[in-house]
Amino acid sequence: MSLRPRANEISGLVARLGSRRQIDVDAAIARLSVIGPRAVEALIEGLDDDETHVRRHAMRLLAMIRDPRGREPLEAMLLDTDPKLRDSAARCLARFPSRESVAALERMLRREKNPEVRVAAVESLSEMFGAGEEAALAPVLAVLLDPDEGFAPRRAGFAVLPRLSAAQRRGLLRRLEQDPALEIATFARGDGETGGSHGAEPPSLEVLLVELGSADYSVWDGAVQKLVAVGSAVVDPLVEAMLRRADDPEYNTRAGMVLRAIGPRRGRGVVEWLERVDDPLPLQVLVETIGAYGVHALTYRLKDLLERLAEADRDRSRPESGGVEPRQRVRAKAHLELARIGSRVAIADLREALADRSRRLELELLAALERIGKRDELPDLLRAWRREEPFVRERIAVAVRAVLRRERIRRNSAVLRALPDELRAALDELLGGAPRLTVVERR
């Protein structure tokens, strides 16, 4: 039986997002989140569905999967006529911190009149700033310091306070304490309800970890901010909480937001958990967090993780139940993070995964090869291209072209002439069969 989800299965799951039975919706969300990038195109199509529930859940899943293809469709949803859907789109964009997302939310704030949607845009920008997108701070401060702005959006702007340096925070609060709007001045004197001397006793770490799983956005977002303020001391209890909720993708995603926001200096303890965590979802969050830190010494530790996963994999005689292998997704994510720093330290494992016919080919592996692949990987890439479905073939073709450019291999080179006939034929088909097509640097 094929391990790959069929296109009609994915379309059926997207349609079930509009079911009136919550159990069916939850099951569809769980399955689509596991399918991941292969479901993205169908989810994007779901944004045009006549059923509001399908569109809302499709946005949520695009944010959860965080495939780059989901960003622009979510930006387009900021223009939807339904304010609830604009609200959802603004919140989902927080999972795509980038200059483009910041610019889209800035444009929304210039035209949006609905105060609840404005709150969503401000809160999303605050999350992006916490994730390291510095450009997101300016539009938040513009709302926070605007005396003509409504109270709710301005109050939402206080979310950036824990993410500022102590000096920046004190200066901003002093300015807001003199604000002509009494509500804002009072709120600032209470330290923005972030645990200042005028505020109530801050909740315990245990309470914050529970609140992180709340269904209420304002509750869990507030928990994110307060947990970030805890700093390095939050790492161990937060990872332990992730392990207790190892099957909850939303909770683990929020925990990842905290770990990324505390930064590499305070979050170095995350690396030590790579040796102790076996549950795929928390492990994937740890891998993504380490990659987001951008510290090469930390990223290189992913090689040890790959060796551990490979050793554990040798003890398994068959794929995990249901054809779903979440540990292989972790493996692929780790390879991609290593490739982002240009490292080939785990290339042997990457090639083994590429050549494995018994498992589906994770797209992150192809993205890694696009960055670091060399001529030695071309035969395995072409073999994979021959056996894969059209969706994956397109990604393989991108990786092959990247290798050819990087290695300066021309269509008539000895390297390609030495390929077996079936692989040479596959390459010709992959490149469009036009002999005059050049995919490398011109002389």
In DSSP notation, 25-71 reads: HHHHHHHHHHHGGGGHHHHHHHTT-S-HHHHHHHHHHHHHH--GGGH
Residue type present at position 343: S
Cα 275 to chain centroid, rounded: 23
Give counts: helices (H), strands (E), the chain.
Answer: 26, 0
Structure tokens at 164: 């500022």
Distance CA 47, CA 259 (A): 30
What's phi and psi for 409, nearest 5 deg? -100, 125
Report DSSP state, residue 272.
G
Strands (E) across 80-132 are located at none
Note the pLDDT tens digit of each residue in 225-258.
788 888 889 999 999 999 999 888 889 888 988 8
DSSP codes joined into one string, 281-330: HHHHHHHHHHHHHT-HHHHTTHHHHHHHHHHHHHT-SSPPGGG--HHHHH
Residue 76: the pLDDT is 96
Name the residue among 349, 355, 296, 295 with its Cα closest to residue 327. Answer: 349
Which residues in the chain show pLDDT less than 50?
Answer: 1-3, 193-200, 318-324, 434-443
Note the pLDDT tens digit of each residue in 126-177.
988 887 788 999 999 999 999 999 888 998 888 888 778 888 888 999 898 8
DSSP codes joined into one string, 128-188: HHHTT-GGGHHHHHHHHT-TTS-HHHHHHHGGGGGGS-HHHHHHHHHHHHT-SSHHHHHHH
Distance CA 17, CA 54 (A): 5
Distance CA 8, CA 89 (A): 26
Q: Which residue's structure tokens are 């972030």?
A: 194
Q: Which residue's structure tokens are 């709150």?
A: 119
Helix (H, G, I), strand (E, B) or coil at 356: coil
Residue 301: the pLDDT is 95
Report DSSP state, residue 5.
P
In this prediction the pTM is: 0.64
Beta carbons within 10 angstroms of residue 14's beta carbon: 22
Q: Classify each residue of 325-344 as buried b or exposed e, where b means 16 or more C-beta atoms within 10 Å of its C-beta.
A: bebbbbbbbbbbbbbebebe
Specify the DSSP element, H or E, that contains 381: helix 378-387
